[in-house]
Chain A
Amino acid sequence: MANATERPKRKPRSMIIRTKLPMPTQHPEDRAKNFNEVPYGYNEAEAMFEAQRCLQCKNQPCVKGCPVEVPIRDFIILITERKFMEAASLIKTKNGLPAITGRVCPQETQCEARCTLGRRYEPVAIGNLERFVADYARDHDEEVAEIPPKTGKKVAIVGAGPAGLTCASDLALKGHDISIFEALHKPGGVLIYGIPEFRLPKDTVKYEIDYVKKLGVEVNTNFIVGRNKTVGELLKEYDAVFIGSGAGAPRLLKLSGINLVNVYSANEYLTRVNLMKAYLFPDYKTPVKIGKNVVTIGAGNVAMDSARTAKRLGAENSIIIYRRSRKECPARAEEVHHAEEEEVEFRFLTNPVRIIGDELGKVRAVECLEYELGEPDESGRAKPIPIPGSEHLIECDVVIIAVGNDPNPLIPMTTPELETTKWGTIVTETATGKTSMKQVYAGGDISTGAATVIAAMGAGKIAAKSIHKEIMGISDDDDSKVSLTPGTFKKER
């Protein structure tokens, strides 16, 4: 990391390369039939080429766009110097899961949105570079960070999603004994049950989790906090508790026909395929319905993942219906683009009014209305207005509801001392992650509502810092200035 912070001179205009180096990807026709990862990632030469595009700005606006303030400019400089391992450890000082964020961060609204180069040309492909560095380190036996002597303090972490994992590893790195309690049989949260293999290989997630385990963190799966033990009971054994239980409760539409056979919540559909590997049925025993015509309702990441999964399972037609227009799709730009390339069909300005079944209770069609865009509503987006008489049927045999997730109610339900909002999220102090209950912290989707991986990680980091201070009795110093921005409550539709 030696001279990374020494800032070289600005590049002359003539040297600027205007466009991002695209990542090589599997051909759409092939990949729509398999579950392998879509982009292959940069090789060394490509990464160094893209890194050269960075202007190495003095004020580093990109860093401010990143919720955990990855030292973007400096790790990019290290890439240009071929110091890939150093680049990886530099990123890891701020972001413990770069192989994941490099793949799934909505870069276009975060780090890359602020990139100086992006004002006139395409921004530096920060996400791609982050991914490259992380993969490189993985393939080259990166060393496990050194752990300081044990403090004898114990912290319990509820949920092994990005928030919990980050909080756990940060605290382990301070010498505390950490135990994670996870309800499912595999750790990873949405990374393992929700985001599909073709976007985030499960090997990558497993590697990152193994890394956390190498730090000495104990991961207990099949443990449901609120049922096996309550938060209150955990507090008797631990010095503090962090809750990162996520927003795992599917929002189901109040539509007639919602309970028909083969109407799925996106969570169920994706969990069957990702966590339970239904795409390998009958070798793996969990089934999923392979539809011919699959309709997905919604246009966020969850919807894109569902519609693209349907295509891979063998659907002839995978149709997304969304009541606004393409511009308003809440999904990452890359996902919408990939979905289009894979011939997922989009019906914009269309919304379901009811789901229709046959005599056996199986879904047969979705009745929809068409919309036009009116004045902007409270969210600032143009409000869709139904066009009278535009009712029409879309024939289908599988419907996937992907209109967002609500906070998981189990912990608030079984922990009456915890203050919650009317949306069911746990009230936390953004700067510290503190909840209304003493020694209990929370962060990630359970406190913000469904947001992003990196926001959840950021919240895990903030909480780790305040937990460390509280259990070690360290008073607030200037190091407590926290400039992390938590995720916002975002509806998927």
Chain B
Amino acid sequence: MYEIVDKKDLNAENTMLKVKAPQIASSCKAGQFIIVRANEKAERIPLTIADWDSKEGWIQIIFQKVGASTYELADYNKGDKLMDFVGPLGLPTHAEGAGKTVVIGGGLGIAIATPVARAYKQAGNHVDVIIGARNSELLILEKELDKIADNLYICTDDGSKGREGFVTEQLEELIKGGAEYKTCFTVGPPIMMMFVAKITEKYDLKTVVSLNSIMLDGTGMCGACRVSIGGEIKLACVDGPDFDGHLVDWENLMHRLTAYKDEEREAMEEYQKKNECCNEKKDGA
């Protein structure tokens, strides 16, 4: 069992958990992820390691409530125990010799981009960071990134903070303005990553994307997470999650992410039903 030593709701959609897992904390690197199975009946969900402390032996994860499993995970509190917590999985992000780098995080992807930005910085590269969200309320880790980044650019869809518009517009402006990046790293919704990759391809800018295909075991055993990279099949959990953004078959990735749409809806309805009945019980008591 793995104890939750800290919890914070960052905003209405995003939650942070700190979990005691010394074994993982002592062997993980930026870009790797864990898989959590909260209880006997829960799914195995992959979540990126957002931060860690090998001395204190904890791992931090930040996740967005998107469906039944993430809503359920957000119901856990400090002091509660998670049944299974395994990692580090995947290959670390390769930050050495990247040169001048721009790191782009969209939505919850900001949480994943943070340790990576730090790793690029620690490897001695100049690092600019662009983050984007629907509105200022949903922006996370701004302070942390401000410390890491040489320049931090903020975009919101509604203009409630920073630039009004998408991260892609900010990126193109910087490139056109002569930023001369050698590497671009991006993580966020696939559609955003796809558009980032489309822009950087025009400018021949090497682009690393962190893919979030549906996973099960995370050890290369099941093939669920397979993605098509330059016509070849790769497993995101062992060959990735980082891949060359210009070689990804985005349409296929997005299709595969919809595989369980109907089941996800059913699971969410089930979750809501359970919660209502529990709340009623609580109210009645």
Contact = CB atoms under 8 A, between A and B. Distances in A.
Partners in one complex: yes
Contact of B216 (A259, A276, A285): A276
Given A228-B27, A258-B233, A261-B259, A282 B267 contact: yes
Interface range on chain B (Cβ under 8 Å from partner): 35 or more
Interface string B230-244: 000100001000000
Contact of B263 (A185, A271, A281, A360): A281
B223 A285 contact: no
A289 interface: yes
Interface string B185-227: 0000000000000000000000000000000110111111011
A183 B224 CA distance: 17
A287 B88 CA distance: 24
B136 interface: no
Contacts of B256: 259, 261, 361
Interface string B25-50: 00100000000010001111000000
B27 A227 contact: yes
Interface stretch (B5-13, B54-62, B78-86, B114-122): B78-86
A418 B68 CA distance: 43
B258 A360 contact: yes
Contact of A249 (B24, B86, B220, B259): B220
B274 to A, nearest CB: 10
B3 interface: no
Contact of A287 (B42, B220, B267): B267
Contacts of A271: 216-217, 221-222
A361 B88 contact: no
A410 B219 contact: yes
Interface string A275-287: 0110001111111
Nearest to A290: B263
B69 interface: yes
A223 B258 contact: no
B96 interface: no
Contacts of A283: 41
A227 B263 contact: no
Contact of B222 (A185, A223, A260, A267): A267
Contacts of A282: 68, 263, 266-267, 270
B89 interface: yes
Interface string A419-442: 000000000000000000000000
Interface residues of A, number: 42
Contacts of B228: 259
B251 interface: yes
B275 interface: no
A224 B86 contact: yes
B216 A227 contact: no
Contacts, number: 119
A382 interface: no
B86 A285 contact: no
Contacts of A258: 233
A268 B263 contact: no
A252 B267 contact: no
B270 A289 contact: no
Contacts of B69: 285
Nearest to B34: A222
B252 A361 contact: yes
B143 interface: no
A343 B43 CA distance: 32
A36 interface: no
A146 to B, nearest CB: 32
B84 A268 contact: no
A213 interface: no
Interface string B90-120: 0000000000000000000000000000000
Contacts of B224: 264-265, 268
A227 B88 contact: yes
A285 B221 contact: no
B220 A410 contact: yes
Contacts of A260: 255
Contacts of A223: 23, 86
Contact of B221 (A185, A259, A262, A267): A267
Given A248-B220, A287-B260, A410-B220, 20 more contacts: A183-B217, A185-B44, A223-B23, A224-B86, A224-B87, A224-B219, A228-B24, A228-B27, A228-B88, A229-B27, A259-B233, A261-B256, A261-B258, A261-B259, A265-B224, A276-B216, A281-B267, A285-B267, A286-B216, A361-B255
24 contacts: A185-B84, A222-B86, A227-B88, A228-B88, A249-B221, A250-B223, A252-B223, A252-B226, A252-B233, A259-B226, A259-B227, A259-B228, A260-B255, A261-B256, A261-B258, A265-B223, A267-B221, A271-B222, A281-B266, A281-B267, A283-B41, A285-B41, A287-B267, A408-B219
Interface of B: 23-24, 27, 37, 41-44, 68-69, 72, 83-89, 216-217, 219-224, 226-228, 233, 238, 249, 251-252, 255-256, 258-260, 263-264, 266-267, 270
